[in-house]
Structure 1
Amino acid sequence: MAALAWLLIPFVAAVGAGLWGSWASRTRRVRSDGPELIGYARFREAMERSRPSEEELRP
């Protein structure tokens, strides 16, 4: 029975490696950068608005 347990260890490892390999090589769908770019543009606009104008900087 102990020999059977020692044979199951490499078998389980091989099955796990096969599952991981199939998951790692899966085809990933390409996401568009649209929402991220829109958010970045909104961030830049907000940062531009929060800058003081040159008139406010002059003493």
Structure 2
Amino acid sequence: MASLVWLLIPLFAAIGAGIWGSWAARDRTQGDISELAGYARFREAMGNAEQAKAKAQAHSGSDAV
């Protein structure tokens, strides 16, 4: 009986390895798509902020002349 218990250890290890392997190989592209869309919105917002800053500097420079 004790030998059967020792044989269960590799069986559980193999089952655990199979579960971990399937989890590690899962498809993660959906998360990347939303992250890339968020990054594109961030870049657009930063570009708009830089344009507004440049306009404000140009405007304040024209008042000083």
TM-score, with structure 2 as normaliser: 0.53
- What is the percentage of aligned positions where both structures have the same residue? 46
Residue 42 of structure 1 pairs with residue 45 of structure 2 = yes
Q: Which runs of 4+ in 1 moved over 6 A?
A: none
TM-score by length of 1: 0.57
* Aligned amino acid, residue 37 of structure 2: G
Q: Please report the RMSD computed on the Cα atoms of aligned residues, expressed in angstroms.
A: 2.7
* Unmatched 5+ stretches in structure 2: none
More helix by percentage: 2
Kindly tell me the number of residue pairs found equivalent between the two proteins: 53
